[in-house]
Structure 1
């Protein structure tokens, strides 16, 4: 049984509007995105094969519309420089992405991999990193910064990210299969 667009509108409009407004600060743009989502729903409702998955299908359309909005606006969603991986995090998106990030770190050149692992995972301060590696503080800072930059580039090549208004990762969408590839490679090693 196919659900009507009108019924979906009545049931999901307010929820979708809140969902989009949390991710897009400009109110008018958020409303435009919600309208776009309902146009996509109307045009693609016949592709929904399982009505039990209606809600997740709708929210996936909304996430894709938000990503398209940011692409059109050419606003780059950047990881903060102090981004840390917290495997104990309650954030589901981060939990799903963590195995890929760990594998990406393994693909960094050794000096950057070492710097990232020691500072981000072992919790060393950059001064402690410099002392333990026998390099200058400037050299340690440079390695950490370059490692983060390379990791960020790898992440942005693979995924488009969604953040809430305070910069917390709320979701991501794979641009290609490279995130999955990193997880698969990790499982084989």
Structure 2
């Protein structure tokens, strides 16, 4: 067992594994290099050649864990540096006044379901069990009801979203909208 024989065999698989866990391609390349070094340094410790692949993936997994630990300890940001993550409570408070009229515009069963799940925090599984509905059916109904609710908001207001889909601002499309 030599590094020259093993590395080409598993390199692509390891890189794909790293890409699934780490977003930045440069970080993936750095981790891959670390794995190569550790493999080179410790390859002779492995007695059973059938376990090389599992061992290399364990090394990769440990490298990912170490990477995120190091990254997490790297720097604590101040509130000023995180200004872009701070929500404007005014936007959410203003839209909250629209919520109940939109809920009431939905069919009664959909409004009841979204109120229980989204406003009161009841789990979908519990709600499905309580109503005697299959869980997968309920998930589908919740998704469709949320889409209807979103459509009502979109008819009345133009929502500005951040990269995570959170509302950061809105403008009324039609000043005569009775919902908001």
Task: Normalising by structure 1, report the TM-score.
Answer: 0.46
Q: Which has the higher contact order (CA 8 A, sep 6+)?
A: 1
For the pair shown, which has the larger CA radius of gyration, 1 or 2?
2
Task: Normalising by structure 2, report the TM-score.
Answer: 0.48
